[in-house]
């Protein structure tokens, strides 16, 4: 790990000022991804601004739903009663991720900003367009079992590793940020980017901007939501494919639906085509299969991950079936 | 306090010439406590001097160990160009609260909590397994919640009450989880064991979310020897006893 200057911020404004004044400075919250990347010299900030003392640790009701502070730990969000009752997919997604120790350290803001676990990205001996623009992508000709099947480019086929972000995408979350130019809101589906020609840029957050909270709007479909994660191990592994599904069902008819996939793309993948098929349809297997087909319609396999296409199809059907079968307002 | 004195007596002092059954340096030895605010380099030189005075085979082995570490530390210190006895421009003062005591240290910001505990405070119970937050051997409690100390920067944990495995027993009285691990054969080589025990203690304090099993709630700790059945049995006993 390189040496760096360590500063503690006592206010959001101070934190933003500090990072705005040094393009090689980064915010430090839980550190579970940043410190790991620094140990491998993938990221080498010369200054860390410790934001752990900022007052961003509350989960509060708002007129529209719930506001979760950016520094709330993954564990605390997952175990929060209001989250479990009103946004069960979020609780399930968080508990499906990492380990208890990591969940106790990791924060909402950091989880959104965590970087891909592509093993070529994490190994500085390999060319990587995300780490060093223009150096090439080692995954495309290499071992790409855990890589993307949707939305990739010829520059990068990495996937976003977060479970939480997939649930947030299905729940229409909005990210509140503060920067040198003031505060703004970023809808979660605009937060993460596709790789295109600039895979080195993961998100649309500006370098000086600090995530302060995430807003979750209440809805009928949010209350009947769930998260399904498929992985090589029963625990403590990233998703091969995951699905966050949310359904508003009345008398067997789907009034509203949200569907987001993890493990398949550079960002949580909302399938608007699938949601159109679901909306207004009967909540049955035929509908779910049609939605699943729509999700993977444009999927493009890499050399080692073609299995993800059929896996994603089946996972979508399973997730929708599970969510349709449960009562609204309770995490599984 | 009586328990403090007992702990002091059982730690390695060196000057008496006795071989010690533990290799844990006294963390409250009179002279050594003065050095806790200096960098690791000066502290190792003190221990080396003490060992030379003491003699004895075990002490000599320990001397080799500390010599190896001292030269590694010297190389590292030379690279960083830090001064020996006083704070350098690259270090910052960090006071850690560990097992109920305060340790004023002078650290580079890049020092992890794990390394600070092991190398500077002298509490080597927490182990370095993967150093990447993947194995759990480094698990400690921060304000009662389990964390991977290898991914924690020491500076960021100033003010937190840290509990390590050394802080569980009360003198000779083992923590119920420690006793259960022994009763249920919860370890073979023992390397993952401090982390397993700390994780189990943390689990009992935090609770396991509804719908998750104890196995799942211990998924952050791996055991290469495969002692999982004993570990689980120990935790079930401790959990039952608590309830």
CB contacts of B140 in chain A (<8 Å) are: none
This model of the complex carries an ipTM of: 0.96
Best to test chain A binding among B156, B157, B207, B221 (most A CBs inside 10 Å)? B156
Report the alpha-carbon distance of residue B178 to residue B168 in Å, rounded.
8
Residue A201 lies inside a defined structural domain of this protein: no
Q: Which residues contact A55 (CB under 8 A, 6 or more apart)?
A: A69
CB contacts of A105 in chain B (<8 Å) are: 147-148, 151-152
Q: Does pLDDT of B112 surpass 70? A: yes
Tell me if B109 and A5 make a contact (CB, 8 A cut-off). yes
Best to test chain B binding among A1, A5, A25, A99 (most B CBs inside 10 Å)? A99
Tell me if B219 and A5 make a contact (CB, 8 A cut-off). no
Task: Answer for the pair A247, A320: CB distance below 8 angstroms, yes or no.
Answer: yes
Q: Nearest-CA neighbor of A51 among A2, A16, A5?
A: A16
Residue A22 lies inside a defined structural domain of this protein: yes
Tell me if B92 and A95 make a contact (CB, 8 A cut-off). no
Tell me if A39 and B132 make a contact (CB, 8 A cut-off). yes
Q: How far is CA A160 from the centre of its chain?
A: 7
- What backbone phi and psi angles, to 5 degrees, belong to A163? -80, -45
Residue A61, number of CB atoms within 10 A of its CB: 11
Tell me if A104 and B145 make a contact (CB, 8 A cut-off). yes
| Sign of the four-CA dihedral B82, B88, B90, B92 | positive
Higher-pLDDT residue of B64 and B48 is B48
Q: Does pLDDT of B58 surpass 50? A: no
Q: Does pLDDT of B70 surpass 90? A: no
Q: Rounded to a whole number, what is the distance in Å from the CA of A235 to chain B's nearest CA?
A: 6
pLDDT digits (tens, 9 = 90+) for A213-228: 999 999 999 999 999 9
Q: Rounded to a whole number, what is the distance in Å from the CA of B200 to chain A's nearest CA?
A: 11
Q: Rounded to a whole number, what is the distance in Å from the CA of B88 to chain A's nearest CA?
A: 13
Of A34, A50, A66, which residue constitutes the final position of a domain?
A50
Place of tokens 């009179």: B30
Span B142-163, average pLDDT: 98
Report the alpha-carbon distance of residue B116 to residue B107 in Å, rounded.
8
Task: Answer for the pair A118, A146: CB distance below 8 angstroms, yes or no.
Answer: yes
> Whole-number mean pLDDT of chain B?
77
Q: Rounded to a whole number, what is the distance in Å from the CA of A316 to chain B's nearest CA?
A: 22
DSSP string, A70-101: TTSBHHHHHH-HHHHHH-HHHHHHHHHSS-HH
Q: Rounded to a whole number, what is the distance in Å from the CA of B55 to chain A's nearest CA?
A: 38
CB contacts of A78 in chain B (<8 Å) are: 209
CB contacts of A37 in chain B (<8 Å) are: none
Q: Nearest-CA neighbor of A240 among A187, A328, A327, A309?
A: A309
| pLDDT of res. B242 | 60
Tell me if B112 and A35 make a contact (CB, 8 A cut-off). yes
Q: What percent of chain B has pLDDT over 70?
A: 63
Best to test chain A binding among B204, B209, B210, B222 (most A CBs inside 10 Å)? B209
Report the alpha-carbon distance of residue A191 to residue A204 in Å, rounded.
5
For residue B241, what is the enclosing H or E element? helix B228-242
- Domains of chain B (ranges plus CATH)? 1-83 (no CATH), 123-152+160-243 (1.10.150.120)
Span B194-217, average pLDDT: 96
Which pLDDT tens digits describe chain A residue by residue (332 residues)?
A: 999 999 999 999 999 999 999 999 999 999 999 999 999 999 999 999 999 999 999 999 999 999 999 999 999 999 999 999 999 999 999 999 999 999 999 999 999 999 999 999 999 999 999 999 999 999 999 999 999 999 999 999 999 999 999 999 999 999 999 999 999 999 999 999 999 999 999 999 999 999 999 999 999 999 999 999 999 998 999 999 999 999 999 999 999 999 999 999 999 999 999 999 999 999 999 999 999 999 999 999 999 999 999 999 999 999 999 999 986 555 55
Report the alpha-carbon distance of residue A104 to residue A108 in Å, rounded.
11
CB contacts of B95 in chain A (<8 Å) are: none
Q: Does pLDDT of B176 surpass 90? A: yes
Q: Does pLDDT of B4 surpass 50? A: no
Residue A239 lies inside a defined structural domain of this protein: yes
| pLDDT of res. B81 | 39
Which residue segment(s) compose the domain that A39 sits in? Answer: 5-50
Tell me if B206 and A100 make a contact (CB, 8 A cut-off). yes
- B238 confidence band (pLDDT: 50, 70, 90): very high
Residue A250 lies inside a defined structural domain of this protein: yes
Q: Rounded to a whole number, what is the distance in Å from the CA of B219 to chain A's nearest CA?
A: 6
Tell me if A99 and B156 make a contact (CB, 8 A cut-off). no
CATH number, residue A41: 3.30.43.10
Residue A200 lies inside a defined structural domain of this protein: no
DSSP string, A204-218: S--TT-EEEEEEEE-
Beta bridge partners of A7: A49
Of A30, A50, A70, which residue constitutes the final position of a domain?
A50
Task: Answer for the pair B128, B112: CB distance below 8 angstroms, yes or no.
Answer: no
Task: Answer for the pair A256, A221: CB distance below 8 angstroms, yes or no.
Answer: yes
CATH number, residue A287: 3.30.390.50
- B66 confidence band (pLDDT: 50, 70, 90): very low
Give the 3-state DSSP-derived string for A272-294, with helices as H, strands as E and coil as C.
Answer: HHHHHHHCCCECCHHHHHHHHHH
Q: Does pLDDT of B21 surpass 90? A: no
Residue A137 lies inside a defined structural domain of this protein: no
Higher-pLDDT residue of B19 and A250 is A250
Tell me if A31 and B212 make a contact (CB, 8 A cut-off). no
User: A78 to chain B: nearest residue by CA?
Assistant: B209
- B38 confidence band (pLDDT: 50, 70, 90): very low
Residue A187 lies inside a defined structural domain of this protein: no
| pLDDT of res. B62 | 45
Q: What is the largest CA-CA distance in chain B?
A: 59
State the virtual CA torsion across B194, B195, B197, B199 in degrees, nearest 10: 160
| pLDDT of res. B241 | 74
Tell me if A6 and B109 make a contact (CB, 8 A cut-off). yes
Instruction: Provide the 3-class DSSP secondary structure of residue B36.
Output: coil
How many separate domains does chain A show? 2
Report the alpha-carbon distance of residue B64 to residue B210 in Å, rounded.
51
For β-strands B145-148 and B139-142, DSSP reports them as antiparallel
Rg (CA), chain B: 19
Chain A residues with CB under 8 Å of a chain B CB are 1-6, 28, 31-32, 35-36, 38-39, 48, 50, 52, 75, 78-79, 95, 98-102, 104-105, 234-236, 331-332
Q: What percent of chain B has pLDDT over 90?
A: 61
Place of tokens 């609780």: A91
Q: Does pLDDT of B69 surpass 50? A: no
Tell me if A332 and B203 make a contact (CB, 8 A cut-off). no
Tell me if A48 and B109 make a contact (CB, 8 A cut-off). yes
- B78 confidence band (pLDDT: 50, 70, 90): very low
Task: Answer for the pair A189, A270: CB distance below 8 angstroms, yes or no.
Answer: yes
| pLDDT of res. A209 | 98
Tell me if B131 and A39 make a contact (CB, 8 A cut-off). yes
| pLDDT of res. B13 | 40
Place of tokens 């098929």: A277
Q: Rounded to a whole number, what is the distance in Å from the CA of A213 to chain B's nearest CA?
A: 21
Of B156, B209, B218, the CB nearest to A50: B156
For β-strands A59-61 and A65-69, DSSP reports them as antiparallel
Distances (CA, A) of A113 to A53, A58, A87, A160, A259: 19, 19, 21, 10, 21
CB contacts of B151 in chain A (<8 Å) are: 31-32, 35-36, 102, 105
- B49 confidence band (pLDDT: 50, 70, 90): low
Residue B96, number of CB atoms within 10 A of its CB: 24
Report the alpha-carbon distance of residue A147 to residue A119 in Å, rounded.
10
Residue A238 lies inside a defined structural domain of this protein: yes
């Amino acid at each position: 790990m390189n040496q760096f200057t360590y500063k503690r911020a006592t206010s959001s404004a101070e934190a933003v000022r500090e990072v705005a004044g040094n393009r090689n400075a980064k915010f430090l919250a839980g550190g579970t991804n940043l410190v790991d990347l620094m140990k491998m010299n993938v990221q080498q900030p010369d200054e860390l601004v410790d934001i752990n003392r900022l007052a961003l640790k509350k989960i509060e009701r708002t007129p529209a739903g719930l506001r979760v502070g950016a520094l709330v730990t993954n564990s605390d969000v997952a175990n929060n009663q209001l989250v479990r009752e009103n946004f069960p997919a979020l609780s399930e997604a968080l508990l499906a991720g990492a380990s208890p120790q990591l969940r106790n350290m990791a924060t909402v803001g950091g989880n959104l900003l965590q970087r891909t676990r592509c093993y070529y990205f994490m190994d500085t001996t390999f060319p990587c367009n995300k780490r060093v623009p223009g150096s090439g992508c080692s995954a495309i000709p290499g071992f790409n079992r855990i890589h993307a099947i949707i939305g990739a480019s010829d520059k990068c086929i990495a996937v976003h590793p977060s479970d939480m972000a997939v649930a947030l995408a299905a729940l229409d979350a909005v990210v509140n940020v503060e920067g040198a130019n003031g505060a703004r809101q970023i809808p979660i589906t605009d937060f993460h980017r596709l790789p295109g020609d600039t895979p080195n840029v993961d998100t649309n957050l500006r370098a000086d901007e600090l995530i302060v909270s995430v807003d979750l709007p209440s809805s009928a479909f949010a209350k009947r939501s769930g998260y399904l994660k498929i992985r090589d191990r029963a625990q403590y592994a990233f998703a091969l494919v995951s699905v966050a599904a949310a359904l508003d069902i009345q008398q067997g008819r789907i009034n509203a639906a949200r569907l987001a996939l993890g493990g398949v793309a550079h960002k949580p993948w909302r399938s608007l085509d699938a949601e159109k098929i679901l909306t207004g349809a009967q909540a049955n297997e035929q509908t779910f299969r049609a939605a699943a087909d729509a999700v993977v319609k444009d999927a493009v396999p890499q050399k080692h991950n073609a299995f993800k296409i059929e896996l994603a199809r089946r996972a979508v059907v399973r997730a929708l079936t599970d969510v349709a079968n449960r009562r609204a307002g309770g995490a599984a | 306090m009586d328990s403090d004195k007992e702990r002091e007596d059982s730690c390695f002092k060196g000057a008496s010439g006795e071989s010690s059954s533990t290799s844990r340096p006294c963390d409250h030895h009179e002279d050594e406590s003065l050095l806790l605010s200096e960098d690791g380099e000066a502290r190792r030189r003190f221990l080396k001097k003490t060992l030379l005075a003491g003699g004895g085979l075990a002490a000599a082995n320990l001397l080799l160990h500390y010599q190896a570490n001292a030269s590694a530390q010297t190389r590292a210190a030379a690279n960083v160009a830090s001064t020996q006895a006083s704070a350098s421009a690259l270090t910052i003062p960090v006071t850690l609260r560990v097992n109920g005591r305060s340790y004023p240290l002078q650290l580079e910001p890049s020092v992890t909590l794990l390394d600070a505990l092991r190398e500077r405070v002298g509490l080597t119970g927490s182990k370095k397994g993967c150093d990447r937050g993947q194995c759990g051997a480094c698990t400690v409690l921060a304000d009662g919640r389990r964390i991977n100390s290898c991914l924690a920067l020491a500076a960021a944990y100033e003010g937190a009450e840290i509990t390590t495995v050394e802080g569980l027993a009360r003198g000779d009285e083992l923590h119920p989880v420690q006793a259960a691990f022994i009763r249920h054969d919860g370890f073979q080589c023992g390397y993952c064991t401090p982390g397993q025990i700390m994780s189990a203690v943390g689990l009992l304090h935090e609770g396991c979310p509804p719908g998750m099993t104890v196995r799942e709630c211990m998924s952050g700790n791996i055991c290469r020897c495969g002692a999982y059945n004993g570990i689980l049995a120990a935790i079930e006993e401790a959990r039952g006893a608590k309830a």
